[in-house]
Structure 1
Amino acid sequence: MSTSPDPEALGPEDEMSVDDGLIVGGAHADKAAEQVFPARQTLLKRLADVVCLPETRVNAFERAVTADLLVEMLREAQKGERLRVARRLSKLSEVPHTLVRLLITDEPEVARFLIEDCDSLAETDLLYCIRRGTPTHCRLLATRKYIGPVVAEALTDTGDIATVEQLLKNRTSTLSQGAIEAAVSLSQDAPRLVPHLIRRLELRPSSAYVMFWWADADVRRVILSRFAVNREVMQDSAGDVFAMAAKEGWSDPLARKALQFIERRQRNREALKKSPFASLEAAIAEAARSGMTRHTAEEISYLSGIKPSTGAKILRDGGGEALAVLCKATGLKKADLRNLWRALRRPGQKDGEVHPDLERVLVVYDTLAVDRAQTVLRYWNWSLSSALTPMMIRALSQGESMEIDVLSVPQRAAMLAFAQDLKR
Structure 2
Amino acid sequence: MTAAIRLLTLDPADAGTVTSASHLLDLARGKTTDDRRRLLLGIAALCDATPPGAEASPLLGDIFMIIARQAERDIRKALSESLASAEWAPPALIAMLALDEIEIARPVIAASPLLKDQDLLRVLLEATIEHQIEVARRPHISGTVADAIIDRGDPATLTALAGNRTAQVSEDALARLIEHSSRIAALRAPLTRHPHLNGALAVQLYQWVGQALREAISERFQVDETRLANAVDTVTRPPPAEPRGIGNTVAAIVDKEEMERRLVAKLQSSGQLRAGFLIRAVREKRLSLFEHGVTALSGFPLRQVRAALARPSPDALFLMCAAVGIDRAVFPALLEEIRAMSDGRPGDFDTGYPGRTSLSPAAAAREFRALMGHAGG
Task: Give the structure 2 partner of residue 383 of structure 1.
Answer: 293
Partner of 2:148: 154
C-alpha change, 1:43 and 1:294, in structure 2 (3 Å) is: farther
1:15 corresponds to which residue? none
Which residue in 1 is equivalent to 2:352?
none
> What is the match of residue 402 of structure 1?
319
Deviations 1:23-75, CA, capped at 9 Å, x for gaps: 44xxxxxxx8xxxx2431341353255356435897x5x62232122112211
**Change beyond 3 A, Cα 1:228–1:309:** closer
In structure 2, the CA distance between the partners of 1:75 and 1:43, relative to structure 1 (3 Å rule), is: same
Given candidates 30, 37, 42, the residue that maps to 1:41 is 37
**Ranges in structure 2 where 5+ consecutive residues have no aligned partner:** 1-25, 219-226, 265-276, 338-377
CA deviation profile, 1:144-200 (whole Å, cap 9, x unmatched): 222221121122233321111111011121213564355355445434334444544
Q: Could you tell me the TM-score, scaled by structure 2's length? A: 0.55
SS in 2 for 1:164: helix
Whether 1:225 aligns to 2:228 is yes
Q: Would you say 1:174 and 2:168 are equivalent positions?
A: yes
Structure 2 residue aligned with 1:422, among 335, 338, 352?
A: 335
Is residue 102–residue 131 contact of structure 2 (8 Å, CA) maintained in 1?
Answer: yes
Partners of 1:194 and 1:57 in 2: CA distance: 42
Counterpart of 1:92 in 2: which secondary structure? Answer: coil
Q: Deviations over 1:188-232 (max 9, x none)?
A: 54343344445445467887777788x356478969829959xxx
1:306 pairs, out of 254, 260, 276, with 260
What is the alpha-carbon distance in structure 1 between the residues aligned to residue 292 and residue 42 of structure 2? Answer: 66
Q: RMSD in angstroms over aligned alpha carbons?
A: 5.1
Equivalent residues in 2 for 1:287-366, closer than 5 Å: 287=243, 291=245, 298=252, 302=256, 305-307=259-261
Percent of aligned positions that are identical: 21
Aligned match of 2:69 in 61, 64, 75? 75
Does the 8 A contact of 1:188 with 1:420 survive in 2? no
Query: Whole-Å Cα distance in 2 between the matches of residues 126 and 173 of structure 1?
Result: 13
1:290-334 per-residue CA deviation (whole Å, 9 max, x = no partner) reads 65665599559539733499799988766x9x9xxxxxxxxxxxx
Distance in 2 of aligned mates of 1:65 and 1:149: 35
| Aligned with 1:144 (options 118, 126, 138) | 138
Partners of 1:301 and 1:307 within 8 A in 2: no
Conserved in 2, the CA contact under 8 Å of 1:44 and 1:70? no
Q: How far apart are 1:380 and its partner, in Å?
A: 8.9
Give me the whole-angstrom Cα distance separating, in 1, the residues matched to 2:127 and 2:78: 20
Q: Say if 1:127 and 1:182 are closer, same or farther in 2 by CA, change over 3 A.
A: same
Q: Does 1:123 align with 2:38?
A: no
Larger radius of gyration between Structure 1 and Structure 2:
1
186, 190, 194: which is aligned to 1:192?
186
Query: Residues 350-369 of structure 1: CA distance to partner in whole angstroms, max 9, x if unpaired?
Result: xxxxxxxxxxxxxxxxxxxx
1:89 maps to which of 83, 93, 114: 83
* Partner of residue 357, structure 1: none
Q: Distance in 1 between matches of 2:155 and 2:166?
A: 19
Count matched residues: 276
2:128 to 134, 138, 146: 134
Quickly say closer, same or farther: Cα 1:181–1:42, change in 2 above 3 A.
Answer: farther
Distance (Å, rounded) in 2 between the aligned partners of 1:295 and 1:191: 42
Asked if the contact 2:28/2:63 (under 8 Å) is kept, the reply is no
Deviates more, 1:67-76 or 1:37-46: 37-46
The aligned amino acid for 1:40 is R
- Name which of structure 1's ranges 382-391 and 62-71 shifts more when overlaid on structure 2: 382-391
SS at match of 1:80: helix
Of 151-160 and 135-144, deviating more is 151-160
Q: 1:415 to 1:113 in 2, by over 3 A?
A: closer
Q: Tell me if the contact between 1:146 and 1:172 (Cα under 8 Å) persists in the aligned partners.
A: yes
Q: Quickly say closer, same or farther: Cα 1:22–1:86, change in 2 above 3 A.
A: same
For the residues of structure 2 that align with 1:309 and 1:57, how far apart are their CA atoms? 59
Assess if the C-alpha contact under 8 Å between 2:28 and 2:35 holds in 1.
yes
Task: Provide the rounded CA distance (Å) in 2 between the counterparts of 1:142 and 1:308.
Answer: 40
2:50 aligned to which of 54, 60, 81? 54
Matches of 2:251 and 2:197, distance apart in 1: 33
Contact kept, 8 Å, 1:90 with 1:113, in 2: the verdict is yes
Name stretches of at least 5 consecutive residues in structure 1 with no aligned partner: 1-17, 25-31, 230-260, 262-279, 323-378
Distance 1:51 1:194, change over 3 A: same
Checking the alignment, whether the CA contact within 8 Å between 2:99 and 2:105 is kept in structure 1 is yes
**What is the Cα deviation at residue 116 of structure 1?**
1.7
Alpha-carbon contact 1:210-1:417 (below 8 Å) kept: no
Kindly tell me: are residues 182 and 386 of structure 1, through their superposed partners in 2, closer, same or farther at Cα, counting changes over 3 Å? closer
Counterpart residue identity of residue 43, structure 2: L
Q: Within 2, Cα distance between the matches of 1:150 and 1:192? A: 23
Shift of the alpha carbon at 1:21? Answer: 8.8
Following the alignment from structure 1 to structure 2, what is the Cα–Cα distance between the partners of residues 121 and 202? 25
Task: Quote the offset at 1:391 in angstroms.
Answer: 3.9
Deviations 1:52-105 (A, max 9, x none): 6435897x5x62232122112211111101111111111313322111111111
Query: How far apart in 1 are the matches of 2:95 and 2:183?
Result: 34
